[in-house]
Structure 1
Amino acid sequence: MLNNDRLLVQILLLALLGACLWVMAPFASALFWAAVLAFASWPVMRWLTRQLNGNSTLAATLLTFGWMVLVAVPLIWLGLNIADQIREVNILLHNLQVEGLPDPPGWLEELPLIGDSLLELWYTVDEQGTAFFATIRPYIGQVGNWLLMRSARIGGGMLELALSLVLVFFFYRDGPKLAAFVHSLLHRLIGGRADHYLELVAGTVQRVVNGVIGTAAAQAILAYIGFSIAGVPGALLLGLMTFAFSFLMVPPLIWGPATAWLVWQGQYGMAVFLGIWGMFIISGVDNVLKPYLISRGGNLPLVVVLLGVFGGVLAFGFMGLFLGPTLLAVAYSLLGDWVRKEVPQISAPTSAPEKHAE
């Protein structure tokens, strides 16, 4: 009877745990980002708490407010600028449909091999502008629907980000209690190896954060240098935008349009330079520096780190950048422990007794 009661309690506990996970599932992404953000900036939280004489609530409030200013204000500014750009594009399309295309630039005809064809296409579109826009109108509608769907996803992402910025306050304030609870839970599950796996997960996440931020900073500096050499206006602003877009792993969205602008201005040499610089230096450093910084200081092979970074992104999206290496690190360590326990220790061969000289 006692065993049946214990089994019933275990089933109820599992059902309760499943129900809790079901309730928390819609907030999993926001909780994850809040935890990563709090963990990455925890040294700042500890320093600020010491400066405020141990007032962790005030320190958490100030740090959360700082994150809101640092993250929310640039996103709002970017959203307003994108809205203005969309409005200007709509006005441009309307003017092109009514007035036709302007005179073609002089460099268009001078392009080797394709210059004459592009010039002929330019005049054809100019002469048949109304019919051309009527032809592409269905495709414009499809593109609009696609952008609307993407905008909805971006809006959902903004809501998750806002929620994570609220939740990070509680991670800051109650961080030590949460850490003690997780430590007790793991110690109950796996015993004395709890400290090892906590350090493994903490070290992996910290190296991933350092790798992401370090790579973004390096790409921003290299982009600023390239923009300055090529003479692109607003090089500092473009460098800061490269830093932001590096987190999404799409720096070409910054140096690509800058290269196209140089082509439009007729600066073909600088356009070729910036294209090569962006492809092999700005974007190429992501494939070298990020895996090095993530694997630096750990005991994981570089191939495991690479599989964790790129496979995690493909499997989980941007969240997989942190989940992938962490999951592989824990799995690699678990397999290592299991192998060490299963494979018997081979004793060192004893040296043969020396023959006594007769």
Structure 2
Amino acid sequence: MFNNDRLLVQILLLGLLGASLWVLAPFWSALFWAAVLSFASWPLMRTLTRWLKGRQAAAAALLTAGWTVLVAVPLVMLGFNLADHVREATALIKNLQVAGLPPPPSWLEGVPFVGERLLGLWQTIDQQGAAFFDTVRPYLGQVGNWLLARSAQVGGGMLELALSLILVFFFYRDGPRLAAFVHSLLERLIGGRAEHYLELIAGTVQRVVNGVIGTAAAQALLAYIGFMIAGVPGALLLGLMTFACSLIMVPPLIWGPAVLWLFWQGEVGMAVFLAVWGFLVISGVDNILKPYLISRGGNLPLVVVLLGVFGGILAFGFMGLFLGPTVLAVAYSLLSDWVAGKAPPAEPASEEQVR
């Protein structure tokens, strides 16, 4: 006989689950990054807890402080640096409107093939500065609005990063209980294969994190070498900032302004070298090293990993870097299990076929 009380309880539970998801919706991104960061560094958390004689809360606080110094501080410095550059660019445009362009740099005429044209363009803009700025003023307004919108997004990202670093402490502290809860939930849903899929998800996320951090470290080292060769001041700090920008997949935010600075200083040869080094080496290593590190040690085909990485970024943004390979890995494993379980046994060949 149909149990109305049980149906009512199930409906209430579903409603409660939906309401809980609605409440947590504004924090999904922060929860996701906190979970990924704590999961990827859990071996370090275990080691630190053992060194502190089982004091898990102290180990969680110490490791969270370490992540704050390593990730948050360089990103905050980058944000202030960008804000300073925006203010300087705004002041420069206002000065150019009043006083016109300064004298052309001595190296401009010596640029191969196009030096004379660039010098003539410089003089034309200087002579017709008012008309030129009247022409570009509407576009400057659009650029200003775009920069304002991007600044708001950067500010929101900083708040999200701060919330992630707060949440990661609780993931560290309560990690074993959360892991046991997830394991029990999966066992209830899929039975004995829960352990297999937990290991699959864990391995995929771990390889992706290794690929992201390993690639960022390689790009930071290569950027430091390039800055040293080109003679850019503050090469070590710029290398650390390149590491932070590599985590969000925008290392040109660091080496690009360095190239422009070298051009402005008249170091044309070094500027060209750093531009080629940045484009082909610093940014180019991302397309080779990251897929290799992510696919290394797994039993997934490389094409599945590549599609998961790039397709995930296009579909979900930066979170897709982790979600894409994980979703495809689970789907590939599910399909493989289904095909293996449903495939009919091979029929033995008859005597006539053998003959």
| TM-score bracket, shorter-length normalisation | over 0.9
Using the TM superposition, name which of 180-189 and 125-134 deviates more: 125-134
In structure 1, the partner of 2:248 is 248
Using the TM superposition, name which of 232-241 and 289-298 deviates more: 232-241
Check whether the contact 2:183–2:195 (CA below 8 A) recurs between aligned residues.
Answer: yes
In structure 1, the partner of 2:44 is 44
Give the Cα–Cα distance (whole angstroms) in 2 for the partners of residues 5 and 222 of structure 1.
66
Using the TM superposition, name which of 106-115 and 303-312 deviates more: 106-115
The share of aligned pairs that are identical, in percent, is 76
* Letter matched to residue 294 of structure 2: I
Give the Cα–Cα distance (whole angstroms) in 2 for the partners of residues 100 and 16 of structure 1.
65
Give the Cα–Cα distance (whole angstroms) in 1 for the partners of residues 72 and 260 of structure 2.
30
Structure 2 alignment gaps of length 5 or more: none
| Cα deviations by residue, 1:310-345 (Å, 9 ceiling, x for unpaired) | 011111111110000000000000000000011023
Using the TM superposition, name which of 289-298 and 111-120 deviates more: 111-120
Give the Cα–Cα distance (whole angstroms) in 2 for the partners of residues 350 and 256 of structure 1.
71
Using the TM superposition, name which of 108-117 and 214-223 deviates more: 108-117
| Cα deviations by residue, 1:209-232 (Å, 9 ceiling, x for unpaired) | 000011111111122222222333
Give the Cα–Cα distance (whole angstroms) in 2 for the partners of residues 350 and 174 of structure 1.
62
Using the TM superposition, name which of 162-171 and 245-254 deviates more: 245-254
In structure 1, the partner of 2:83 is 83
| Cα deviations by residue, 1:77-119 (Å, 9 ceiling, x for unpaired) | 3333333323322222222222211111122223344333322
**1:61 has 2:61 as partner:** yes
Distance 1:112 1:52, change over 3 A: closer
Using the TM superposition, name which of 53-62 and 161-170 deviates more: 53-62
In structure 1, the partner of 2:14 is 14
Using the TM superposition, name which of 40-49 and 189-198 deviates more: 40-49
Check whether the contact 2:75–2:241 (CA below 8 A) recurs between aligned residues.
Answer: no
**1:216 has 2:236 as partner:** no
* Letter matched to residue 197 of structure 1: Y
Q: SS of the residue aligned with 1:327?
A: helix
Distance 1:173 1:326, change over 3 A: same
Distance 1:348 1:288, change over 3 A: farther
Q: CA deviation at 1:257?
A: 2.7
Spell out structure 1 runs of 4+ moving beyond 4 A. 347-352
Normalised by the length of structure 1, the TM-score is: 0.92
In structure 1, the partner of 2:108 is 108
Give the Cα–Cα distance (whole angstroms) in 2 for the partners of residues 74 and 245 of structure 1.
9
Check whether the contact 2:219–2:282 (CA below 8 A) recurs between aligned residues.
Answer: yes
In structure 2, the partner of 1:288 is 288
Give the Cα–Cα distance (whole angstroms) in 2 for the partners of residues 76 and 217 of structure 1.
19
Give the Cα–Cα distance (whole angstroms) in 2 for the partners of residues 216 and 347 of structure 1.
53
Distance 1:230 1:69, change over 3 A: closer
Distance 1:350 1:64, change over 3 A: farther
In structure 2, the partner of 1:309 is 309
In structure 2, the partner of 1:187 is 187
In structure 2, the partner of 1:342 is 342
In structure 2, the partner of 1:263 is 263
Q: CA deviation at 1:348?
A: 7.3
For the aligned residues, what is the CA RMSD? 2.1
Q: CA deviation at 1:260?
A: 3.1
Give the Cα–Cα distance (whole angstroms) in 2 for the partners of residues 137 and 275 of structure 1.
30
Check whether the contact 2:108–2:119 (CA below 8 A) recurs between aligned residues.
Answer: yes
Give the Cα–Cα distance (whole angstroms) in 2 for the partners of residues 155 and 267 of structure 1.
35
* Letter matched to residue 70 of structure 1: L
* Letter matched to residue 231 of structure 1: G
Distance 1:100 1:19, change over 3 A: same
Give the Cα–Cα distance (whole angstroms) in 2 for the partners of residues 156 and 251 of structure 1.
20
In structure 2, the partner of 1:226 is 226
Check whether the contact 2:74–2:244 (CA below 8 A) recurs between aligned residues.
Answer: no
Q: How many residues align?
A: 352
Check whether the contact 2:309–2:324 (CA below 8 A) recurs between aligned residues.
Answer: yes
Distance 1:226 1:76, change over 3 A: closer
Using the TM superposition, name which of 4-13 and 291-300 deviates more: 4-13
